Chain A
Amino acid sequence: MGERKLMRGNEVIAEAAIRAGCECYFAYPITPQAELLEHMARNMPRLGRTFVQAESEIGAINMLYGAAAAGVRAMTSSSSPGISLKQEGISYIAGSNLPAVIVNIMRGGPGLGDIAPAQGDYFQATKGGGHGDYRMIVLGPSTVPEAGELTILAFDLADKYRVPVMILADGMLGQMMEPVELPDPVDPATLPKKDWALTGAKGRDPNIILSFDLDPEVLKQMNLVLQEKYRKIEDNEARYEEYQTDDADIVIAAYGTVARIAKTVVRRARAEGIKLGLFRPITLWPFPYEPLRELASRVKTVLTVEMSAGQMWEDVRLAVAERAETPFYGEMGGVVTTPKKILSEVRKYAR
């Protein structure tokens, strides 16, 4: 294992990507993920790898598409408005069965919004922000060390299923510093070979990468291949954490930064005798519906807390159905919620 260091979330994601064997990184600057770009600019060329500051987020996502097609591990990062610009490219990557990693360090929206932490891009990330019937694995880290772990997982899952994987974090996690221990670097040369990649048609038939066919029957088949893959991902890759849920009457459902704040709330609520727990989805797609459903049948209340108007809330209600009450509390515009505010919400539902 590597050394223990105090690092910022953005830097950890960048460094974890390098250690996962990411050979190409393309991005356009935007706050609050600038440190990610800077870490890559400092380190990728030194390692003989590619860092390109692209002309735009559209340029970056299409460079990512090209590098992924060439068969290397590759990544782009941005924040909300820039991620909006990448949507057509993400749809192409998904439709072409390419593995790629996309990082979104969310900020307040809509429009130009602000540069403060927010969670308003959940719908865009998990419900297909681009066109067509596609899905993207979405990972929501809630601590700096977890951001590193999930970055490495993102590359593994992308390669395993040949899908785009998004790391969905917010500006607070990007900026926050915590001690982390990063794993030893992977040598890209030791990664499994990709026989579908564009490496030159030497001694084999040409490999063609596309998301296109004018024959609806053929395109339907291509879609079915995607759907089959998505079912497999749903069956195998849902990840979540439960915290003090065993005897809970009320659970908070939250992800990312909010889940981290909610852990403090659980401890404070328990100190005043409220049996509170936390359900934290780690994969936002696939959403852990089954475990939440099971938990919901044992509690009275599932309180969703987000830094949005209630986006993950829809998935929570889908999972819980009528098994428990499903209130919502959220902050918007980059206003970060506090343990105090969440606790006063929780008290409303305590017996």
Chain B
Amino acid sequence: MPVNTENMVKVFGRPESLTDARFTYCPGCHHGILTRIIAKAIDELGIAERTVTIAPVGCSVFAYLWYKCDAVQASHGRASAVATGLKRANKDLIVISYQGDGDFASIGTAESIHAANRGENITVIFVNNQIYGMTGGEMAPTTLVGQRTTTTPDGRDPAYFGYPIRFSELIATLDAPVYVTRQALYDTRRIMDAEKAIKKAISYQVEGKGYSLVEVLSTCPTNWHMSPLEANRHVAEVVTEAFPLGDLVDRGG
């Protein structure tokens, strides 16, 4: 029977600002979902023609391939400083810095904190997968207590390696940031929430309100040695205990 499409409404489609390049991410990795929802926000805000995305060092190093936008690849950890330079040079640009947890919360600690503290009018997407994905699964600053990685083979012992760092809470103590939030992608509801948060963060930049940070709890099925489904469940049940979801600061409204 032919399908009558007359009264159908399109509820899902490929975002306009996403290129046809194939993702380099492993199956089930949240980097892919996140890339898509950023593109959707760029579409909805109509800013593709003035957006510059920053690709970090990490599994998302190829992020310059995904968007039909200008892009720059930054050295490991320094994306927030590069974002500062871009935005200060041309305030009409919409600058989106995409950074992993090793990138943003370890090697880039100084650049991350000080870009936030200066209240740079940029948006940082901080992908917390509690691991160094690209280099093969070493401990990240966000690795959970007891979590096994290639450099914590017996599990992260806080007496020896310290505790997982809650970087967004740290940023939230500063006066300048307008929006700091932690989101997740393990089910449809969380994805929709994350979409809203990312759109809000970028719209604050468009309105000139200042610095936003969207931390996204993400999976690394490959280095967690879990199936994508197990990884989703792990985020929902375990990771969110250490990293509670929700807004930490919202001064933009």
Q: Which residues of A contact B (CB under 8 A)?
A: 23-24, 26, 50, 52, 54-56, 58-60, 62-72, 74, 88-89, 92, 96, 198-203, 206-212
Q: Name the B residues within 8 Å of A65 (CB-CB).
A: 72, 74-75, 78, 81-82, 85
When chains A and B are docked, how far (Å) is the Cα of A70 from the Cα of B50? 12
Contact A198–B70 (Cβ < 8 Å): yes
User: What does the 1/0 interface line of B89-111 toward A look like (CB < 8 Å)?
Assistant: 11011000000000000000011
Within 8 Å of chain A (Cβ to Cβ): is B203? no
**How many angstroms between the C-alpha atoms of A50 and B98 in the bound complex?**
24
Shortest distance from the beta carbon of A9 to any chain B beta carbon, whole Å: 26
- Residue pair A201, B73 in contact (C-beta under 8 Å): no
Chain B residues in the interface with A (C-beta under 8 A):
48-52, 55, 61, 64, 67-75, 78, 81-90, 92-93, 110-111, 113-114, 118
B88 and A62 within 8 A (CB):
no
B67 to A206, Cβ gap below 8 A?
A: yes
Residues on the A chain within 8 Å of B90, using CB: 70-72, 199
A110 to chain B, nearest CB (A): 24
Q: Tell me whether A70 and B114 are in contact (CB under 8 A).
A: no
Q: How far is the CA of A92 from the CA of B82 in the complex (A)?
A: 12
A68 touches B85 (CB 8 A): yes
CB <8 Å contact, A74 and B89:
yes
Number of A-B contacts (CB under 8 A): 135
A200 vs B93: C-alpha distance when bound (angstroms): 7
Tell me which residues across on chain B come within 8 A of A26, comparing CB atoms. Answer: 85
B24 CB, nearest partner CB in chain A, Å: 10
Contacts of B73 in A (CB 8 A): 96, 208-212
Task: Check B61–A201 contact: CB distance below 8 A.
Answer: no
A63→B49 contact, CB < 8 A: no
Given A62-B74, A69-B72, A212-B73: A198 touches B86 (CB 8 Å cut-off): yes
Asked if A200 and B70 make an inter-chain contact with CB atoms under 8 angstroms apart, the answer reads yes
A-B residue pairs in contact (CB < 8 Å), sample of 20? A55-B114, A58-B110, A60-B81, A62-B78, A63-B84, A65-B72, A65-B78, A66-B81, A66-B83, A67-B86, A67-B88, A67-B89, A70-B86, A72-B90, A96-B72, A198-B86, A198-B93, A199-B90, A200-B50, A200-B93
